[in-house]
Chains A and B, each alone.
Chain A
Amino acid sequence: MKKVFSLTAVATALLLSGCASFKAAPEGDPLEPVNRGIFSFNNTFDHYLFKPIAKGYDAVVPTPVKTGVSNVFQNMSDAQSIVGGALQLKGAKVGDDMGRVLINSTVGLGGIFDLATPLGIERGNEDVGQALGYWGIGAGPYLVLPFLGPSNVRDLAGRAVDGQADPLSFVSSVPVRNSLTGLRVIDTRVSLFPIEALANQAALDRYTFTRSAYTQRRESLIRDGKAPKE
């Protein structure tokens, strides 16, 4: 049932992003009023729940443990990155990601230690949303997702497919899976502290600031950091 739902979501999203009207301007934000509502909901939720928990975790848990936890989740996302890279036929990146997962999962004790980075094997940092962009599918309108934050129609579709390859989704015990998912949310939230501080200082309007930064970042990832074609 879950699979059927996400496939429908992908199909709908692709259909939407294929519409010519949505390809107009990259700064297009036709859903701004709704997005701003969700943005402020997310901020409130974050302020009272996610952030205090993440701050407590950051303060209480010793750094080596935090690093180990981050590495394990990063190893999982390296595994997911293989899918995004393969969909773009980027052989070198797929090879690097496979090498990383292989080394870190075995010698790195299930990903606790990141031994691939000192060996000079770089992260592919790919996902299905990037693959869709690589093949010329437009971003569609900017979206702010409840709890998850900035996205767009193309990345929402990509996320649905990425979710299918999420190692956590293969954990059969529901309590364990939920606990790990919760831990991953906290780990991600902690990693956002420096960016949050920067955005608070730099932004006149957090919403516009985040939208522009997200859009630019995703376009840059799709081009693998190369300059846009003028």
Chain B
Amino acid sequence: MQKWWIQLVAAWVASAALVVSAQVTPDAQVKAVATDVTGILKSDPSILNNQAKLRDLIEAKLVPNFNFARMTQLAMGRNWSKASPEQQATLTKEFRTLLVRTYSSSLSNFKNNVIDYRPLRMQPADTDVTVKTVVQQANGQGIPIDYSMEKGADGSWKAYDVAVAGVSLVTNYRDEFNSVISSQGVDALIKQLQAKNK
């Protein structure tokens, strides 16, 4: 009888611990990822000159923190419903590749900069927040980088937009995608993305 009791309490404690570990605040998550990645790059700077290694690092550390399906959908805007499920899947795959490549090519620009984290304004029940950071450059100009993050059903936070100096990645691509789709259609956009990723 007593054993059963202890097991129940143990299971309860374990599940509570799981919930706590899943409830990392989004700003702490961004900070942990950034510290981790800059630390790795500092200890082995040769990664920056090795495209394959760099991509592995990004796939392992950064990609899991982004929601590419949501990003693609937002970048497509009202054109999303015009695409068939197959087209949607291809678009998401190609857009993800393009973003990962862009990220890996721009990472070297930020390797030596200090990142400031602005205080997060967030209620415990919030599921959609903006994490504000400022990358300090040597010339005194700080580049604000804001991450729009959403809490998934599993309790983890994933970014669905990044704004650099007020320029939102999703909005920029929405303008680009829309201009291609309105003149040439969804397949033309897919072809352009595939050509870009070759």
Q: Taking beta carbons and an 8 Å cutoff, which residues of A are in contact with B? A: 27, 67, 70-71, 74, 114, 116-117, 122-123, 194, 197-198, 201-205, 208-209, 211-213, 216-217, 219-221, 225, 227
Residue of B nearest to A114 (CB): B140
- CA separation between A123 and B144, bound complex, in Å? 13
Given the known A-B contacts A27-B175, A197-B105, A212-B176, are A202 and B98 also in contact in the complex, defined by CB atoms under 8 Å? yes
B90 within 8 A of A: no
Contact A212 B171 (CB under 8 A): yes
Contact A219 B166 (CB under 8 A): yes
Contact B167 A220 (CB under 8 A): yes
Q: What number of B residues sit within 8 Å (CB to CB) of A?
A: 27
Q: Which residues of A contact B165 (CB under 8 A)?
A: 217, 220
Contact B166 A217 (CB under 8 A): yes
Contact A225 B179 (CB under 8 A): no
Q: Which residues of B contact A221 (CB under 8 A)?
A: 166
A-B contact pairs, 14 of them (CB 8 A): A71-B139, A74-B140, A197-B105, A198-B102, A198-B105, A198-B106, A201-B105, A204-B189, A204-B192, A205-B179, A208-B176, A209-B176, A212-B171, A213-B167
Q: Which residues of B contact A204 (CB under 8 A)?
A: 176, 180, 189, 192-193, 196
Residues 15-57 of B, flagged 1 when their CB comes within 8 A of A and 0 if not, give 0000000000000000000000000000000000000000000
Which residues B139-174 have CB closer than 8 A to chain A? 139-142, 144, 165-168, 171-172
B109 within 8 A of A: yes
Q: Taking beta carbons and an 8 Å cutoff, which residues of B are in contact with A? A: 98, 101-102, 105-106, 109, 130, 138-142, 144, 165-168, 171-172, 175-176, 179-180, 189, 192-193, 196
Q: Which residues of A contact B171 (CB under 8 A)?
A: 212, 216
Residue of A nearest to B180 (CB): A204
Write the nearest CB–CB distance from A225 to chain B, whole angstroms.
Answer: 6
Contact B166 A208 (CB under 8 A): no
